[in-house]
Structure 1
């Protein structure tokens, strides 16, 4: 829990001006979803806790043809990168 609080503070709260309790709750819900569903974790071999491990990609042709899309959360404070479908 201490690690989560430290990460939340460093990656979200130190970069955000919180207006009121409603805004704080919204920001914390967004960060929790980002932390558990998208953010890579070293202990999980760069996977998110609620997402399965990605298949290894060793084919050089597929690596050079990657199409990546970015989704901004909380006004660009949190950024998600995904392969285009």
Structure 2
């Protein structure tokens, strides 16, 4: 069995602790609260799978909805909004 190692955060680096707290919170809410884990081996397997999902597939708001190991999609040009006309008419017996 591997021994757990403690990694201390750097001096005057509050973001380092915040980033890890966010990862632990995400892992807990998205994985651990939803799974029934049988033993340590199952837990390690689930954590490896979640780590791959988190880094390769999960969208991150801070990265413009890209994953850390996936590049950000470049815009193809200016966004063109289409004008959509919405027509409303009364329906007999409908909601008021």
Count residues with an aligned counterpart: 60
Paired residues for 1:19-34 under 5 Å: 19-34=38-53
The whole-number CA distance in structure 1 between the counterparts of 2:35 and 2:75 is 35
SS in 2 for 1:5: helix
**TM-score normalised by length of structure 1:** 0.65
**TM-score normalised by length of structure 2:** 0.58
The whole-number CA distance in structure 1 between the counterparts of 2:46 and 2:70 is 21
RMSD: 1.7
Structure with the greater alpha carbon radius of gyration: 2
In structure 1, the gaps of 5 or more residues are 60-85
Q: Which runs of 4+ in 1 moved over 2 A?
A: 55-59
Greater strand fraction, Structure 1 or Structure 2: 1
| Structure with larger RCO (C-alpha < 8 A, sep 6+) | 1
Q: 1:6 aligns with which of 25, 32, 38?
A: 25
The whole-number CA distance in structure 2 between the counterparts of 1:19 and 1:52 is 36
